[in-house]
Structure 1
Amino acid sequence: MLLEQERRDASRTARRLAAEGLAHGGSGTVSVRSGDLIAVTPAGVPLDRVEPADCPVLSLEGGVLEGRRGPAADTTLHIAVHRCTAIGALVQAPGEHAAAVSAVLSELPPVHQAAARLGGAVPVAGYAAYGSGELADQAVKALKGRSAALLACLGGAASGPDADRAYENMRLLEWLCGVYTRSRALGAPRVLSEDELAEVRRRDAEGWAGPDPFLPC
């Protein structure tokens, strides 16, 4: 069986999306890449029931090479993103908070320092029907230089070097959207600057280096 591990990863991630409520109504798509091939979740199977053997394997040109089921409708988007980037996995899901923010904003501002892990402000791709080439083009543009993007009136997408990281980035995106909607209800949220986000990235890279000698006693 082609891409046995990648199919297991796609299946396991799909079940995690369903278990944590990130894929309401059973919708959502996961793809995992190995070389010039990708394993993607199938059409017509609820995410909480996806088995590795259900996940078809496709080439980056879009041809189905193996699988007992057809690929999910948004596979066009996934193939486009994989062709244009060096990611290992892409997770797409209509989380409640992500869907709400994507329906209103043109960009999710960085109101928490954790946004630095996704690249800062999260762009919202223009609306297009799911499964369409237009949506795929919009997603590729929105994900450029970012680990996550919102898809207008649809939800979010997050990438990573592997399925686990892509899933965690999707969870983080959903959490950040929730933080924004709650803070916006209280007033005008404070938005972190690029310099402040750069400092967060620097600290994430360096880790703890001991107490600051300039702190007052």
Structure 2
Amino acid sequence: MSEQRNHRTDHGDHGDVSAAWEALVATARRTVTDGLVVGTSGNVSVRVGDLVLVTPSGVPYDRLTPDDVTGVDLDGRQVLGTLVPTSELPLHLAVYETTDATAVVHTHAVHATAVSTLVEELPLVHYMAAALGGPVRVAPYATYGSAELARNALRALDGRTGCLLRNHGTLTHGTGLDQAYDRTAQLEWMCRLWLTASSVPHLTPTLLTPDQLTEATEKLRDYGQRA
């Protein structure tokens, strides 16, 4: 597991917090629009210094306004807002405590959740597994919102930026909300791909070898535009 990071002690200025909250709400709404969650399931967080903004518990994302900003410190003490933070707060804080992530996305995506009930690790059906650090593991089941779930997720995330939560959903993190969300979407897509391919009678999907995944990992380092 990654070693514990030294955290900054600032909470950012008002402008930073307002912009981060706006981006968080937009990302949360996107999880609904893209079918990764239903209703108020799933949750999103973003870190601004030592402040963690999180979606509140049980509030439809389309009802959230700038006045609903909800934030806690790294120990989970609420320092902004009056709405109760997401019940999965321990899960989010555990990721921030052990990684350099600045954003976390948790969903109940259908295909990913289905896969979490079938295997211990998502089969290497596509090279985009490299974007998540390697084969995606499934964290053992634990009650939602529990410290046990957070511990299980951290073990599954060791060396990875995403994992599946058994009979529950997905968890991804990144250096920003866009990256964390993209990893969630890629994970759901890979799970759908594997379920589709493995459902064909009398045929078995071919899988990538570790060497092929390593090669893809190296190639992805240079993917995209350069400044």
Rounded Cα–Cα distance in structure 1 between residues aligned with 2:45 and 2:210: 31
8 A Cα contact 1:36 1:60, kept in partner: yes
Q: Normalized against structure 1, the TM-score is what? A: 0.91
Gapped runs of 5+ residues in structure 1?
Answer: 209-217
Partner of 1:172: 186
2:180 maps to 1:183: no
Identical-pair percentage: 40
Rounded Cα–Cα distance in structure 1 between residues aligned with 2:120 and 2:61: 29
1:35, distance to aligned residue in structure 2 (A) = 1.8
Rounded Cα–Cα distance in structure 2 between residues aligned with 1:203 and 1:81: 27
2:100 maps to 1:89: no
What does residue range 106-145 of structure 1 map to in structure 2 within 5 Å?
Answer: 106-145=120-159
Rounded Cα–Cα distance in structure 2 between residues aligned with 1:182 and 1:54: 40
Partner of 1:32: 46
Amino acid at match of 1:191: L
Paired residues, number: 208
Partner of 2:211: 195
1:207, distance to aligned residue in structure 2 (A) = 5.1
1:49, distance to aligned residue in structure 2 (A) = 2.9
Amino acid at match of 2:211: D
1:25, distance to aligned residue in structure 2 (A) = 3.5
Q: Normalized against structure 2, the TM-score is what? A: 0.87
Query: Alignment partner of 1:30: what SS?
Result: strand
8 A Cα contact 1:99 1:154, kept in partner: yes
Describe the superposition over 1:101-128 as per-residue Cα deviations: whole angstroms up to 9, x where unpaired: 1111111011011111111210000000
Query: Alignment partner of 1:159: what SS?
Result: strand
CA RMSD of aligned residues (A): 1.6
8 A Cα contact 1:15 1:49, kept in partner: no
**Aligned partner (choices 45, 49, 67) of residue 63 of structure 2:** 49
Partner of 2:11: none
Rounded Cα–Cα distance in structure 2 between residues aligned with 1:20 and 1:52: 23
Partner of 1:160: 174
